[in-house]
Structure 1
Amino acid sequence: MDLRTADPEASRRFYTGLFGWTVADVPAGPSTVPMFVDAEGPWGGLTQLAPDDDRKPQWIPYAEVAVLDDAVKRATELGATIARPRVDLPVGSVLVIRDPEGALIALWEPASTASPS
């Protein structure tokens, strides 16, 4: 899961106050990323929406795939469109698709299998 928000600090206060969730700055290459964490480790990102991002604040589910390019090809063959382009990070690669009904889901290829396109 990833929470896309215009105000990460306000979202952090809300969810830590509501559920008692913990947010930690998790290393991601040369920087850190705020993540919701539990005893098993990080389970969800807390991402600031870019000023030019036309989406509203929202939760985005992630689905892990073996090969991102293959999953994107199959998704588009089945009628999906690309909502946000591929981003390659030190921990893996992600691309957001919109299914034929309009729902968003992020396709995630962990770095252990990621191959830059």
Structure 2
Amino acid sequence: MSEKPFTNIVNYFELPSDNNDQLKEFYNKIFKWKFEKGKDTSDYWYTDSPGIKGALLKRRSEEQKAPTIFVQVESLDDCISKATNSGAQIIVDKQDVSEGTFVIIKDPQGNSIGIWQPKSQ
């Protein structure tokens, strides 16, 4: 099976926050990034100002100490299976949101990576 365009690429980022208003102001001042309120929760703020879609969000867990990048895949379930069989741990269970489904894993060296499958696939 051949890969679809835009598969296995970094296509999103999330910046964890304890105060979204502070970070919205910070990134607007230094980079002129604009944010709009998310569709799924009130503590999620989208931006596409940096050339890649991203968001500020309320920190999901104490383990979320750094930005998370998301890799878009053709099959989330297949990727989860490959990742866990290769030593990854799931740290945020599979979740459906308005635009697709994601999971966050921790790779064998402790890096958090989001895996994303849009609804259109």
TM-score normalised by the shorter chain: which range applies? Answer: 0.7 to 0.9
Match of 1:43 in 2: 53
For residues 31-69 of structure 1, what are the alpha-carbon distances to aligned partners after superposition, in whole Å with 9 as ceiling and x for unaligned? Answer: 7941112397x710111124xx22354211000011111
TM-score, normalisation: structure 2? 0.78
Q: Does 1:59 align with 2:67?
A: yes
- Counterpart residue identity of residue 36, structure 1: T
| Number of equivalenced pairs | 109
Contact preservation (8 Å) 1:97, 1:104: yes
Match of 1:3 in 2: 15
Q: Structure 1: which 5+ residue stretches go unaligned?
A: none
Match of 1:85 in 2: 93
Higher strand share: 1
Distance 1:25 1:104 in 2: 24
Distance 2:36 2:45 in 1: 5
Q: Does 1:72 align with 2:80?
A: yes
CA RMSD of aligned residues (A): 2.3
Match of 1:94 in 2: 102
Same amino acid, percent of matched pairs: 25
Contact preservation (8 Å) 2:20, 2:43: no
Cα–Cα, structure 1 residues 19 and 44, in superposed 2: closer, same or farther, change >3 Å? same
TM-score, normalisation: structure 1? 0.81
Contact preservation (8 Å) 2:44, 2:58: no
Contact preservation (8 Å) 1:37, 1:43: yes
Secondary structure of the 1:58 match is: coil
- Counterpart residue identity of residue 2, structure 1: E
Q: Which runs of 4+ in 1 moved over 4 A?
A: 29-33
Contact preservation (8 Å) 1:5, 1:57: no
Contact preservation (8 Å) 1:95, 1:106: yes
Contact preservation (8 Å) 1:6, 1:57: no
